[in-house]
Structure 1
Amino acid sequence: MRHTLPALTLAAVALTSAVAVPAEAAARRAPGVKIAPGTVVLQAKSSTWVTVTVTAPGMGPGSWINFDLRGPKGDWVGDAVIEDPDGDGVFVGRGKFDRSAEPGGWRAETSVYDTNEGSTKPGPSTTFSVKRSTRLSANAGPEPVRKGRTLTVAGRLTRLDPYGWNGDYVGYGKQRVSVYFRKRGTGRWVYAGAATTASNGSYKRTFKAKYDGTWRAGYWGSSMFFKSVSGDDYVDVR
């Protein structure tokens, strides 16, 4: 199914250069394209913007660039024309992504119309990622706990629902969650173990209480979901 993202906001942005580039050298430089951010993280309550910047020096007055943002399953933003009224060779356009955008690998493709040549030709392209956000909690206890007794780190991993029919975030099952410990008085986090989330996103891992310190958990993401780290929980071992 083709999904059209919200309308683009387009802008041509003039950039100043500390060093002047001779016209002959500029004309010989091939166009380049950059996109920021390189990873778009979709949120529940706000849209996320990407900025496409094409540098194409040496083109004639009134030249323009067209760019399309194409998703992995047919999503696209197309026929976005950006101009360069300042004549500095820098073309900038913006596209808005909402929570329903398809996650995965995306591609920004461009075509260039140079008035010096009077024709349109393929321009540079680049890739970027779109991922849905996740949330992770962690609670360590009991607190305080006697040395040598069992200490449990438990929490829940949730992922952004694309439409919010079941709430903004829903349980994310069958995912690996890593648990880390930082001993009191040190600044170094040490990997302690891992757990796999249940269907509702909950997880639990037990350890032997040895030292006072802080516990946290991390989910390191995938091609479709962004990483998340829990808050810290300090436990006093007596």
Structure 2
Amino acid sequence: MRMRTSAAAVVGALALTALAVPAAQADGHDGDTAITKVTVNGGKNVVVGTSLVKKFTVTVTAKDNSGIAGADIELHGPGFGYLSGTTRCSGSTCTASFTVDPKVDLPYSNDVAGTWYVDAWVDGKDDDYVWKQKAASFKFQRASTQTVNAAPEPVKKGKTITVTGKLARANWDDFKYHGYTSQPVKLQFLKKGGKTWSTVKTVKTNSTGTLKTTVKASVDGYWRYSFAGTTSTPAVNSTGDFVDVK
């Protein structure tokens, strides 16, 4: 069995120095070993905040006429973002477990947020193997929050209401949430008793991540801000703020 070993592998922790990044290798294989499926975090992006430890898995399904003997699964992203997990195989599926503690693994590393890739090496029991860089991609993101407040409440029909809010995201420099600036956010409305939110307008956050706009009140309902997300930051909706229209 030809298991690849990575120099300076860091198990379950982000390696943020150039020395921890394994040397690049071209894709390759020997024999009939093939990767058929890769799933990261159950198909969801990996979102990390400022304090809670994030645990997730990556599963690689492969095939070989002799069976699967083992695998090495690593993750890499922007900057010096790098993760190596503990991998175990059962049948044709190999699972790597990863743990990210933001205060231990992410100090001063906002630049590692973005698109990440899975690198996988799988060995067959007959000494065949397959090595594939970028076998799958996913987003490693800074957690986001969104607030809303519609006022005044109640309001007379036809009068103006002001809808404010703030879009913020985790900052791994000081482990606080800071406003996400210059981002388009949708102001949405849900009529009382309705089921579908409708977009009224798009508002851009200012230099502190704050949102502010005005609309005319016509019927009772809920107002919210909805952010679609970016590569580095997940989508988020505020809770709905109910306005009673008299």
- Whether these two folds match at TM > 0.5 is yes
Question: Do the aligned partners of residues 214 and 220 (structure 1) sit closer, same or farther apart at CA in structure 2, a change above 3 Å counting?
Answer: same
**CA separation of 1:81 and 1:185: change in aligned 2, threshold 3 A:** closer
Q: Distance in 1 between matches of 2:243 and 2:234?
A: 28
Shift of 1:48: 2.0
Residue 168 of structure 1 aligns with which residue? 176
* Structure-to-structure mapping, 1:24-43, within 5 angstroms: 30-37=34-41, 38=43, 39-43=45-49
What amino acid sits opposite 2:60 in the alignment? V
**Letter aligned with residue 199 of structure 2:** Y
Distance in 1 between residues matched to 2:138 and 2:52, nearest whole Å: 20
1:145 aligns with 2:145: no
Q: CA deviation at 1:5?
A: 9.7
The TM-score with structure 2 as length reference comes to: 0.76
Whole-angstrom distance in 1 between the partners of 2:66 and 2:180: 53
Cα RMSD for the two superposed structures = 2.7
- Equivalenced residue count is 212
The one of 134, 142, 145 equivalent to 1:135 is 145
1:103 to 113, 117, 120: 113
2:51 equivalent to 1:51 = no
Cα shift at 1:171: 1.3
Give the superposition deviation at 1:151: 0.7
What residue in structure 1 maps to residue 185 of structure 2? 177
1:212 aligns with 2:220: yes
Structure 1 residue runs of 5 or longer lacking an equivalent are 10-26
From 59, 68, 72, the equivalent of 1:66 is 72
Match of 2:12 in 1: 8
Distance 1:82 1:172, change over 3 A: closer
Alignment match of 1:198 (pick from 182, 206, 230): 206
In structure 2, C-alpha distance between the alignment counterparts of 1:77 and 1:185, rounded to whole Å: 47
Instruction: Work out the percentage of aligned pairs sharing the same amino acid.
Output: 28
Q: How far off is 1:114 after superposition?
A: 3.1
Larger Rg: 1
CA distance in 1, matches of 2:129, 2:170: 40
Inter-partner Cα distance in structure 1 for 2:39 and 2:152: 47
Which residue is equivalent to 1:17?
none
